[in-house]
Amino acid sequence: MKRIFNTLALVSMLFYFNSCEDLMEDSEEDSVAIEGVWVRIIGASGDRTELAIGGIDGEPANRVYMCELKGSTAAGFYKGILTSGNVIVWDDNLPDTYLSLDGSELEFDYKCCGAIPTYYKKGAWSGECGSLKAQTTTTMAGVWVRIIGASGDKTELAIGGIEGEPTNRVYMCELKGSTAAGLYKGTLNSDNVIVWDDNLPNTYLRMKGSELEFDYKCCGALATYYKKGTWTAECGPLKNTTIKLAVGLKNSDFGDVTIKNVTVDGKGLPLTILNSTTTAPDCSSNSFLALPKPAHSNSNGGYYTIGVTYSGQGIDGSYTRTDYMTWYEYYFKTGCNTYKVGMNALGKYDLVPL
């Protein structure tokens, strides 16, 4: 009897350990099976979606890319992270998504917002939203030319490769005839978002095959697309040609006259008060003005109008006047230009050498 009991106990133990091993193997299979590319089984909405879990070059193993193909309700490209509980936490403002395997299919469930689960089967990544590769500044570097759309606007975009600028510096030229023609500058951050120096909305970039998608993601603006091209230099060369102007003011130079302000084309110029401690202005902090391209030109080239407003006491009482002088762009060098307020050879208040 004892022998029979021992035998049954041994069989039970073997069954228990084998069952645990089978469960572990099943768990491992589920973990592995959830990785890869999944294609949405088309339902009533007709939306087509591709989902890549892991296997993305340059990304961690739990990185998720989702491509809502053109024609879908929310067409676009989305990124997220798959947690240990098989929940996708998205970079964008999407609800967390709960994944589970149902036989050979993957269930995709937001578990909120009235959304019903959708199902996916193993498939292939089409590349419509770009390759399964981390999109870096290096990938996007170079000159891109806008693919002309309904607006007819023509735009050139240079990412990096700009002389005198860091590798993540961006120049954008809206060519003549475009809605907002001009030169714009910004910086591309590690999330592939351009933060502009000017008052433009942040711009979100991503690769879609061989094209670059440019999307403000606001203001009712549609995404636009760019292909590799060349910089025409209509907005100037790919070179940091910024002209900075710093001006000092030594009040004791003017007796009873008070210098009230200095302007360049009507824009106020910061003035550095000069004394025994501060003997010259410089281009640090906010003590300078970066000059834009001149708004006016003649046969001698582009020029600025510099105005010096001053006040004093005359025979007929107090007065306030402004002296104006024309300064051509070629008077200035690239970089920091330093002057002080003084009297020029014509007897007018102007900028003079230190």
- Token readout for 3 is 């022998």
CA distances for 248 relative to 244, 272, 330, 339, angstroms:
13, 5, 21, 6
Write the pLDDT tens digit of every residue in 3-60. Answer: 444 444 444 444 444 444 444 444 444 444 799 999 999 988 899 999 999 999 888 8
Query: What is the helix (H) or strand (E) element at residue 19, kind and residue range?
Result: helix 2-33
What count of other Cβ atoms lies within 10 Å of the Cβ of residue 27?
Answer: 10
CA distances for 132 relative to 54, 76, 91, 124, 249, angstroms:
9, 15, 17, 11, 59
138 with 121: CB under 8 angstroms? Answer: no
pLDDT value at position 22? 47
DSSP bridge partners of 51: 38, 66
pLDDT value at position 324? 98
From CA 256, how far away is CA 38, in angstroms rounded? 81
Give residues with Cβ within 8 angstroms of 329, minimum separation 6: 243, 291, 293, 294, 301, 302, 303, 304
Range from 11-15, 205-209, 247-251, 270-274 carrying the lowest mean pLDDT: 11-15
pLDDT value at position 165? 87
pTM over 0.75: no
pLDDT value at position 243? 92
Write the pLDDT tens digit of every residue in 336-352. Answer: 999 999 999 999 999 99
DSSP labels, 64-127: EEEEE-TTSTT-EEEEEEE-TTSEEEESSS---EEEEEETTEEEEE--STTPPPEEEEE-----
Give residues with Cβ within 8 angstroms of 251, minimum separation 6: 258, 259, 273
DSSP labels, 259-299: EEEEEETTEE--EEEP-SS--S--SSTTSSEEE-S-SEEET
Residue type, 26: D
Write the pLDDT tens digit of every residue in 152-194. Answer: 899 999 999 999 888 999 999 999 999 899 999 999 998 889 9
Is 285's pLDDT higher than 80?
no
pLDDT value at position 142? 95
Give residues with Cβ within 8 angstroms of 181, minimum separation 6: 174, 175
Query: pLDDT over 70 for what percent of the chain?
Result: 90
pLDDT value at position 277? 94
Range from 171-180, 225-234, 280-289, 332-341 carrying the lowest mean pLDDT: 280-289
Residue ranges and CATH numbers for the domains of the chain are 36-122 (2.40.128.50), 137-228 (2.40.128.50), 243-352 (no CATH)
78 with 68: CB under 8 angstroms? Answer: yes
CA distances for 274 relative to 245, 336, 346, angstroms:
16, 18, 24
Range from 38-42, 130-134, 200-204, 335-339 carrying the lowest mean pLDDT: 130-134
- Token readout for 8 is 């049954």
181 with 175: CB under 8 angstroms? Answer: yes
More confident residue, 164 or 202: 202
pLDDT value at position 25? 44
pLDDT value at position 32? 43
Q: How confident is the model at residue 135 (pLDDT cuts 50, 70, 90)?
A: low
Is 271's pLDDT higher than 60?
yes
The stretch 232-249 carries a mean pLDDT of 92
Q: How confident is the model at residue 1 (pLDDT cuts 50, 70, 90)?
A: very low
Range from 31-40, 99-108, 217-226, 282-291 carrying the lowest mean pLDDT: 31-40
pLDDT value at position 138? 62
The stretch 67-94 carries a mean pLDDT of 88
Residue type, 155: T
Q: Which of 196, 138, 192 is nearest to 167 (CA)?
A: 138
Give residues with Cβ within 8 angstroms of 312, minimum separation 6: 256, 257, 258, 318, 319
